[in-house]
Amino acid sequence: MDLNKLEEILNKCDKFKSDDSIKKISENIKNNEYSDEQTREEAKQEYYSHLPQYEKLYQIKNDEYKELISGFSQAYLEICDFYVGPELPRETFFDSKDSLNELYFMFLMSLFFIKK
């Protein structure tokens, strides 16, 4: 049996490239409160390895935030300054004033270039 030829055939198959069942399974284990700590940590690392870099950073911060707020009651969290909801909000381009001003500036500059 030629393993190199078999590997070539499997690499050509698109079904295996788009299969994200391992990602879903590791996410379920990561979020399962009945799993032991070591299994959950291994599942987290497996789940993070399937994410793009920007999403990986967000998920790590979000998991740390969820772990932090899990020890407090909902009534206490509602009066805390650091509580922003059950999950961290995602950052967007319009979150900072500098980014918004930069966007306005680009629109104004484009108007000058179009009028030529």
pLDDT at 14: 62
How do residues 5-45 score in pLDDT, each as one tens digit? 877 777 777 665 566 777 888 888 888 888 888 888 888 88
Rg for the chain, CA atoms, rounded: 23
> Which residue has 């922003």 as its token pair?
84
Tell me if 76 sits within 8 A of 66, measured CB to CB.
Answer: no
Closest CA relative to residue 31, chosen from 23, 40, 22: 40
Tell me if 48 sits within 8 A of 56, measured CB to CB.
Answer: yes
Question: Mean of the pLDDT values across residues 89-97?
Answer: 79
What's the pLDDT band for 62 if we cut at 50, 70, 90?
very high
What's the token pair of residue 80?
Answer: 């805390």
Closest CA relative to residue 65, chosen from 32, 40, 87: 87
What's the burial of 26, exposed, middle or buried (CB within 10 Å: 0-12/13-18/19+)?
A: buried
